[in-house]
Amino acid sequence: MGRKYLLGNEAIAHACMESGVDFVSGYPGTPSSEVIDVLRVQQDRTYYVEWSVNEKVALENALSAAWCGVRALCTMKHVGLNVAADPLMTSAYTGVTAGLVIMSADDPFAHSSQNEQDTRCYAHFARIPCLDPASIQEAHDMIPEAFRLSEEFGLPVLFRPTTRICHSKGDVELGEPVAGLRKGEFHKDPRQYVVIPAHTRILHKKLNEKQSGIRKRLVERGLNRHSIKGKTAIIASGIGFTYVQELLPEGVSFMKIGAYPIDDDWLRDFVQKHEKILVVEELAPEVEEAVRQVSGIVAVLGKKNGYGSYDGELSPFAVAEIMEKAGFLKKNPYIKGEPVQNLPPRPPILCAGCLHRGAFYAIKKVFKDAIYPSDIGCYTLGLQLGVVDTTICMGAAITVASGISHAGDPRDIVCTIGDSTFLHTGIQGLLNAVYNGANITVVILDNRITAMTGHQPNPNSGMTASGVESPAVSLDAICRSCGVSFVESVNPYDITGMVTVLQDAKKRKGVKVIIAKQMCVISARRAGIKRGSYQVNPEICTGCGTCVRFGCPAIEFEDEKARINDLCSGCAVCAQLCPVGAIAREGKK
């Protein structure tokens, strides 16, 4: 197939096709989303592909497919693995018939995440193999390896690229795609698939018996390897390996860890040939702990004794600094490079014309002194507008709201949650809130798409991952069937209408749901919807700043007057806010 310049996730997706994958499921999450986004748009694909409603659902689907003898891939971000942890832990007991690769993409530095957890710890916990690539090419090459290992040991295999693999680019040598033509067939075997205590005790023993074979095989396959050059050594994993590689001095032994569990006999043999070992890895000290287990009197330098950090991501500079401190480099060849200070920041911001901004404005207008639990999506950016007080994990807006309600805080509680997040893990929270009599207002921000991660369809979009039409779920009916009697749909571009409904909700007790419906402005633009644009009449504008405080990137303020730039998408919300009527559609006076 030759060489291509690809994003890490594109290379991973291609490797899945080269491995003849038959079944693909997952839930979007940065930095993992592009793998399925690539797989779902392939013409003439022979595999099944779905966006599932959450990661637990995705993994259970993929697991049972692998039980039926078809190769399955399941993708998610690291925190998605928490949602899928329940099936994950026991899938190691039941095992699989055909390969099951679970891609859980880690995000050191939390570029786009709520925490910096390390998927390698889950692999350790579940006692399943984990592959940890150091480059895009290696990520690509590890996928067929992961399927083979999964089939050899009859276990799911975790594949753990990080943001710097998924969202890096490089020239990658690709193989030919292979049609996945296996036909699934479920063979009944209750001792394998029904984990009652009598069965599961035996399955646990079998899982433990597999461990030493796995450790040896990972070395035999070259996933863990080393070269001995002297009396001191560096052991590195993940992206940190490439940073060390670029700086490695002559005469220093080098070990690469690309897979777990690490074979302790092999590791001991290497460590004992040296006087000093430096371990370089991101996040948890997984490798370091293994090295310390076998080090005896050999000096081990790692994050446990101040060589490296438990948080954040590695950079070439940080690695050089660690190598200098540990005596492997005379001097750090890089400079820290301080950026120019006091420049106005440019954080991500809700788009011009985003429905969320109008909804947040209306919420703040009606509920001035309220508590605002929120959730995970573009609308978390409502933090900048002062309407996001909490965000913990997917689906936690409604549960946090009901918890605060029962804790006795007398203020109004208004929580916000997106449509995809509501369908992911929000429904249970709503059901619980109604059942237990919470006093909360829930605003579902319904833009009909999973926008933040790149516009993936969900059950509310009217189509599946592969573009096949499917009936869009009724959020209204879901809420009513959870027992909510006050369910109103509003257009968040119509501030007066939304304010009226919110005022009504404010007067009532119990759980009230307001569905703020409007298409994502990016989807609207792609669909060719044109609403024109708005302008400020400088003769009428008094420079009061009401529209500027609305926080839309299309509104600027110059020489004591507001001005609308070419980002305007014509939502018309600012025109409704202007107290003197200075904003009107372009071309109209």
Partner 1 sequence: MSKSYNILIVGIGGQGTILASNILGEACLIEGRHVKGAETHGMAQRGGSVESHIRIDGMFGPLITPGTANLLISFDLLEALRYSHYVKKGGKMVVNRHLVLPTSVFTQNLRAITKDEIIIALKTHSLCLLDADKMADDAGSALSQNVVMLGAASPSIPLKPESLLDAVRRLVPKKTIDINVKAFELGRVYGGTC
Q: Which residues bind partner 1 (CB under 8 A)?
A: 3-5, 30-31, 34, 111-112, 164, 167-171, 239, 242-243, 245-247, 315-317, 333-340, 343-351, 378, 380-381, 384, 452-454, 548-549, 551-553, 555-557, 565
3 vs 206, which CB is nearer to partner 1?
Answer: 3
55 vs 60, which CB is nearer to partner 1?
Answer: 55
Angle CA 132–135–138, to nearest 5: 70
Closest CA to 286 of 122, 81, 109, 84: 122
170 vs 175, which CB is nearer to partner 1?
Answer: 170
- The distance of closest approach from Cβ of residue 431 to partner 1 in the complex, given in angstroms and rounded to an integer, is 29
- The distance of closest approach from Cβ of residue 361 to partner 1 in the complex, given in angstroms and rounded to an integer, is 13
Q: Which residues is 110 bridged to in the sheet?
A: none
- The distance of closest approach from Cβ of residue 333 to partner 1 in the complex, given in angstroms and rounded to an integer, is 6
91 vs 533, which CB is nearer to partner 1?
Answer: 533
- The distance of closest approach from Cβ of residue 542 to partner 1 in the complex, given in angstroms and rounded to an integer, is 16
User: Distance between CA atoms of 86 and 67, rounded to whole angstroms?
Assistant: 17
Q: Measured in Å, how far apart are the chain's first and last C-alpha atoms?
A: 60
Q: Enter the DSSP assignment of 343.
A: P
- The distance of closest approach from Cβ of residue 138 to partner 1 in the complex, given in angstroms and rounded to an integer, is 12
- The distance of closest approach from Cβ of residue 241 to partner 1 in the complex, given in angstroms and rounded to an integer, is 9
333 vs 581, which CB is nearer to partner 1?
Answer: 333
For residue 264, what are the contacts with CB-CB under 8 A and spacing of at least 6? 215, 290, 293, 294
User: Distance between CA atoms of 43 and 497, rounded to whole angstroms?
Assistant: 44
386 vs 462, which CB is nearer to partner 1?
Answer: 386
Q: Enter the DSSP assignment of 473.
A: P
82 vs 453, which CB is nearer to partner 1?
Answer: 453
Tokens 């033509």 -> residue: 181
Closest CA to 180 of 268, 281, 90, 99: 99
Burial of 2 (0-12, 13-18, 19+ CB in 10 A): exposed
497 vs 543, which CB is nearer to partner 1?
Answer: 543
Backbone angles phi, psi at 442, to 5 degrees: -110, 125
Q: What's the token pair of residue 463?
A: 């189509």
Are residues 105 and 31 in contact, defined by beta-carbon separation less than 8 angstroms? Answer: yes
- The distance of closest approach from Cβ of residue 208 to partner 1 in the complex, given in angstroms and rounded to an integer, is 37
User: Distance between CA atoms of 111 and 109, rounded to whole angstroms?
Assistant: 5
- The distance of closest approach from Cβ of residue 166 to partner 1 in the complex, given in angstroms and rounded to an integer, is 8
281 vs 412, which CB is nearer to partner 1?
Answer: 281
Neighbours of 179 (CB within 10 A): 12
- The distance of closest approach from Cβ of residue 246 to partner 1 in the complex, given in angstroms and rounded to an integer, is 4
User: Distance between CA atoms of 478 and 509, rounded to whole angstroms?
Assistant: 20
For residue 377, what are the contacts with CB-CB under 8 A and spacing of at least 6? 417, 418, 420, 421, 445, 450, 451, 452
